[in-house]
Amino acid sequence: MKSMTPREIVEYLDQYIIGQNDAKKTVAIALRNRYRRMQLPKEIQDEIIPKNILMIGSTGVGKTEIARRMAKMMGFPFVKVEASKYTEVGFVGRDVESMVRDLVSDSINLVKEEQKESNKSQIDEYVIKKIVEKLIPPLPKGASEQKQEEYESSFERMKQKVIKGEVDHLKIEIEAPKKSLDFGDSSMPPEIIKVQESLAKVFINSSKDDIKKEVTIKEAKELLKIDASDKLLDMDMIKSEGLKRAEEGGIIFIDEIDKIAVSASSSNRQDPSKEGVQRDLLPIVEGSSVNTKHGSIKTDHILFISAGAFHLSKPSDLIPELQGRFPLRVELNSLDEDALYSIMTKTKNSILTQYIALLDVEGVEIVFEDDAIRALARLAQNANEKTEDIGARRLHTILERVVEDISFDADMHKGEKIVIDKELVHKKLDDIIENEDVARYIL
């Protein structure tokens, strides 16, 4: 687990998210507390449960973005789910426990990738050896010493060729890796998945042993890698490590939690399914055991972060028990013109950089003048005020309008440098934003 200080975490987040300092701070402290807890003796460790976070802020102000960036940075198992998905359990929805199962899968994948990375040389070695064995005839039994030496040197020569990719185009026959038995998605109860798997095992084992397949060496390298990681990696270790990691370091981000709140004012009709979901969430957030196909997992130390706009409802419209499970509240501010400007100019891989990179592929160089960016920010702000406040997402719709034509005719502008100035921005957008009705539809 990375030992970044809260300050360092916030600094990292600052590269991607403008403002929202309270939220960043809260999240950073929560993460640091994880680390602190791990340093303690076991008996205190068990006592300390994470303080779950509730993020409140209108749409497009960076709630999801903060959670996503943070999980990526820390290498924690992370899943993001939408609370409203669970309101239709039994029809098309999913049961609430599936979020924990998803977390476990994510965690196991994480560990598996790490293992692959650290066993990379072993895996490569295995793959190359397999391929070379196909390319040169095997040594007959009882061969003389001289023959053996010859064999070894030609083996070595061929090996170099394979590594360098000189024979990538040749075709060889390999045993296609057996279909992996990893199926059944997390919405199914683990018991049923187990039954399915054992059935499948019977069928696969009874079928003709290996399916031979003719592929180029290039493809074989990839295919055999899968085979190799199955053979060389210790799946049992990976599973138990994955479970442990999810248990100790997992983060579940529950988005749109406001959608399952039942607003007291507008509820002439109590919504049983929404409240039901809240009740289902309780034990999971509180800490309970969930069965997964890899084993059972305790949810006590999983960090839950929930987020919602809470336009139509308030956090107090959640059932009291659930409110209490999210003691840390942070509000995210709406984005003003300056913030929008900074989002375009100061973030890593900002939306402008993305457009520049995309058009660069076509050989078109576009340059955004500074007052054009200012104008974009102002117009985005205008549009947010006049129609609906969709935060930074507005930048996407607005910018798309401005760049649309250039983007469409990119092939005709190959090799050119196109400057996007204030005039162009106003030309494309003024009419639309002036007219509220048009803006509602187009932007």
62 near ligand ATP (CB under 6 A)? yes
DSSP 282: H
Q: Which does 105 bind (CB under 5 to 8 A by kind): ligand ATP, Mg ion, none?
A: none
Q: Which does 177 bind (CB under 5 to 8 A by kind): ligand ATP, Mg ion, none?
A: none
60 near ligand ATP (CB under 6 A)? yes
61 near ligand ATP (CB under 6 A)? yes
Cα 113 → chain centroid: 14
347 near ligand ATP (CB under 6 A)? yes
Q: Which does 77 bind (CB under 5 to 8 A by kind): Mg ion, ligand ATP, none?
A: none
Token pair, residue 273, equals 């399914």
Q: Coil, helix or strand for 58? A: coil
Binding segment (CB under 5 A) for Mg ion, from list 209-217, 255-263, 388-396, 422-430: 255-263
22 near ligand ATP (CB under 6 A)? no
84 near Mg ion (CB under 5 A)? no
Binding segment (CB under 6 A) for ligand ATP, from list 15-23, 120-128, 290-298, 422-430: 15-23
> Is residue 16 a contact partner of residue 347, using CB atoms and an 8 Å limit?
yes
Please pick, from the candidates 54, 186, 391, 399, the single residue that binds ligand ATP as defined by CB under 6 A.
391
Tell me the DSSP string of 355-376. Answer: HHHHHHHTT-EEEE-HHHHHHH
333 near Mg ion (CB under 5 A)? no
DSSP 260: G
Q: Which does 392 bind (CB under 5 to 8 A by kind): Mg ion, ligand ATP, none?
A: ligand ATP
Please pick, from the candidates 6, 9, 12, 19, the single residue that binds ligand ATP as defined by CB under 6 A.
19
Q: Which is nearer to ligand ATP, 56 or 410 (CB)?
A: 56
What distance in Å separates the CA atoms of residue 72 and residue 78, rounded to the nearest whole number? 8
Cα 110 → chain centroid: 11
334 near ligand ATP (CB under 6 A)? no
Least distance (Å) between residue 22 CB and ligand ATP: 12
Least distance (Å) between residue 420 CB and ligand ATP: 20
Q: How many CB atoms are located within 10 Å of the residue 4 CB? A: 17
> Is residue 58 a contact partner of residue 334, using CB atoms and an 8 Å limit?
yes
119 near Mg ion (CB under 5 A)? no
* Element spanning 145, H or E: helix 145-164
Q: Coil, helix or strand for 303? A: strand
Amino acid residing at 171? K
What distance in Å separates the CA atoms of residue 32 and residue 69, rounded to the nearest whole number? 16
Least distance (Å) between residue 132 CB and ligand ATP: 47
Enumerate the β-bridge partners of residue 213. Answer: 174
17 near ligand ATP (CB under 6 A)? yes
Binding segment (CB under 5 A) for Mg ion, from list 231-239, 252-260, 316-324, 428-436: 252-260
Least distance (Å) between residue 61 CB and ligand ATP: 5
Least distance (Å) between residue 369 CB and ligand ATP: 21
Binding segment (CB under 6 A) for ligand ATP, from list 228-236, 246-254, 314-322, 386-394: 386-394
Q: How far is CA 100 from CA 37, 45, 62, 282, 417, in A?
A: 22, 21, 24, 13, 50
162 near ligand ATP (CB under 6 A)? no
What distance in Å separates the CA atoms of residue 202 and residue 246, rounded to the nearest whole number? 31
Q: Cα(first)–Cα(last) distance of the chain, in Å? A: 43
Which runs of consecutive H residues, i.e. helices, occur in 252-409?
Answer: 272-286, 320-325, 337-345, 351-361, 370-386, 393-408
392 near ligand ATP (CB under 6 A)? yes
Token pair, residue 201, equals 């095992």
What distance in Å separates the CA atoms of residue 76 and residue 411, rounded to the nearest whole number? 43
> To 10 degrees, the CA torsion angle through 395, 67, 323, 248?
170
What distance in Å separates the CA atoms of residue 87 and residue 208, rounded to the nearest whole number? 45
Binding segment (CB under 6 A) for ligand ATP, from list 56-64, 89-97, 122-130, 428-436: 56-64
Please pick, from the candidates 64, 187, 342, 397, the single residue that binds Mg ion as defined by CB under 5 A.
64
User: Number of residues in contact with Mg ion, rule: CB under 5 A?
Assistant: 2
6 near ligand ATP (CB under 6 A)? no
Name residues contacting Mg ion, limited to 122-141 (CB under 5 A).
none
Q: Which does 303 bind (CB under 5 to 8 A by kind): ligand ATP, Mg ion, none?
A: none
Least distance (Å) between residue 308 CB and Mg ion: 9
* Residues at the site binding Mg ion, with contacts judged by CB under 5 A: 64, 255
* Residues at the site binding ligand ATP, with contacts judged by CB under 6 A: 17-20, 57, 59-65, 255, 309, 343, 347, 391-393
